[in-house]
Structures are given as C-alpha cells and as structure tokens.
Amino acid sequence: MVAAPAHVTRYHQRMRCSLSAARTAVLAAVSALALAATGCPSHGIKRDYPAPTIADVVARLAKVRGELTSFRADTTMDYWLGDQRAKGEVLVMGGVGARVRFAALSPAGGSTMAEMACDGTNFVYVDYQNNCVLSGPCDARSIEQFFRIQLAPDDFVHLAVGAPPVIANATGTITWDGARGYEVVELHGADGTQHLTIDARDQRWDVVASDLVGADGKVAWSVDNADFVAIDGHRVPGKTRFKSPTQAEDLVVAWGDAQSRGVNVELTADKFQLAAPAGLARCGEKR
C-alpha cells in the first residue's frame, strides 16, 4: 500500500482533531440543555443574605405568631367525615385562645353536613349526616374529631396562617439547602425534636414544611405548605397538607382567594357557640 503524502496525513489529523473538538462541544451543549430541562442548576443556589441563627428563627416565628391572631377562610378541603373521605367546601375561622369553628358544606346544595366549635373551654361536634353529636373539653382531641389529626386548637390556628409553634428553650442547627434555596432547621428541646424548612429569600419567611417529633419518638404533627400569598400585608400559605402522626391519614386544604380569606379579623364570642340539636346519639354509639 502506498503511504499518503505527509501533507495529506497532517490534513487528516487536523480534521480528526477538529471533529473530536466539535463532538465534545456538541455533547457539552446537549448536557447543558438536558440539565436546564430538568430545572436543576449547574451549581447550587447561594444564600444572598446573612446566615440566620437559631435565635433568629425562633424570634422571627414568634413575631409572626404574635402578629397573626385570628383568621377566616372559605376553603376547599380533602378530609375525613366519619369513616368516609370527603372533598368540598369547608368554612373555617379561628383565633388564639382555643377558639375554632368548622362547617363542612354539602356539594349538593350548601347545606351543612358537619360542624364543630371550640369556644375556648369546650367543644361541640355535630355530624348531621349520621345524626350524632360529641362534646367535651376543647383540646387536641377536639380537632381530631373533625380531621382525624390531633392538634391543639391554637396550634391549628398558627399552622393555618403558616406560623408554626416552636418547641420551648430550643437549641439546634441550621443548614443551607443549595439545591432549593431553603434553610433547613433542626431544633431540640424537652418536648422533642422539630424540623422546619424555610424559604427566607427576598425578605420572605415562608415555612414550607415543619414537623414535631415528641420526646417519646412519635410524630405529633406534620405540615407541608405551598403557594404562599400576601393577605393584608402578611404572607400565608395558599395550600396546606396536615399529616397524621402515623402518616396514614391527612387533611389537604386550599385556603381560598384573598376575597374569601382574612387574617386578624374581628371574631366575636358568639361565633364559636354551637348548640347541638336535641335527641342525637353520641357519635360512635349504636342506637
């Protein structure tokens, strides 16, 4: 076989190098496009504000809870009604001091299927679908009657406006989640361990998730928040998912638009009074 002239060989070598470089550039461009399509940044999001301390987190959440003392909302809920899963309109209002009221409306015509009221001391729950009633002290079990999730009434109010309670005398750690741009907080105290995921960018302080694990190692409550909106100058979640301690049951709430929702509204004591119709059996008892 006759060898190619030297200048031809050099030309072919240059062509191979050029093709190899072009192929590398194409592969790099395709990889960059694929990464962009997944929404994943090529490098982590950087914190653009001073790193908060545990004291900052505790103080900021306490400030928000102090500023938001009541709310009302015309919600859409995916919830439990007795032993049945239900989805529909639920009117909700609440204020600090163990004052909470719910009314689940029928999709067929707006009549009330069930309602519950905590007046600060006692609760009354009426299930009109099953013609039964419950009553007793207003505590975490009151909320459980309606939603199958134990939450102290004031905790429910605070969680509804995106300002979760924080365990007392907390110590802990904060780490930066560069993939999402979130502060990841772990708190420890006599009451257990609490986790918070906070979006603090652009001067907001959105608690996108939180849970409390009691000193006994069991989950006391857990929430996820999304679609934060501004209501009367306060950022509150547009959607919340409350999860039961076993994670087997949950309550999903779309809190409604700004027109049907308010914070720091005036709620008089009579709004939390509920008289049960006479003659109803106690829920869970056979007649």
pLDDT of the residue at 182: 97
pLDDT of the residue at 14: 46
State how far the Cα of 113 lies from the Cα of 104, in Å rounded to an integer. 6
| 3 state SS of 130 | coil
pLDDT of the residue at 81: 61
pLDDT of the residue at 15: 38
Name the CA radius of gyration of the chain, rounded. Answer: 27
Two tokens, residue 159 = 């969680």
DSSP 33-76: HHHHHTT--SSPPPP-SPPP-HHHHHHHHHHHHHH--EEEEEEE
For residues 50 and 178, the answer to whether their CB atoms sit within 8 Å is no
Residue 277 lies in a domain: yes
Residue 24 lies in a domain: no
Residues 234, 235, 239, 245, Cα dihedral to 10°: -90
pLDDT tens-digit profile, the chain (287 residues): 434 444 434 434 443 444 344 444 433 433 443 334 334 444 589 999 999 999 999 999 999 999 999 999 999 998 766 667 778 899 999 999 999 999 999 888 778 999 999 999 999 999 998 899 999 999 988 888 777 788 899 999 999 999 999 999 999 999 999 999 999 999 999 999 999 999 999 988 999 999 999 999 988 889 999 999 999 999 999 999 998 776 567 889 999 988 889 999 999 999 999 998 999 999 877 65
The CATH number of residue 71's host domain is 2.50.20.10
Residue 31 lies in a domain: no
For residues 73 and 88, the answer to whether their CB atoms sit within 8 Å is no
Two tokens, residue 259 = 């027109």
State how far the Cα of 65 lies from the Cα of 45, in Å rounded to an integer. 29
Domain count, the chain: 1
pLDDT of the residue at 183: 98
Residue 241 lies in a domain: yes
Cβ count near 253 (within 10 Å):
24
Please state the pTM of the whole predicted model: 0.79
* Residues paired with 114 in a beta bridge: 104, 127
Residue 234 lies in a domain: yes
Residue 112 lies in a domain: yes
Residue 12 lies in a domain: no
For residues 138 and 122, the answer to whether their CB atoms sit within 8 Å is yes
Residue 28 lies in a domain: no
Residue range of the domain that includes 58? 54-282
Question: Which residue shows structure tokens 């105290």?
Answer: 189
Q: How far is CA 37 from CA 30, 32, 161, 164, in A?
A: 10, 9, 34, 35
State how far the Cα of 83 lies from the Cα of 196, in Å rounded to an integer. 32
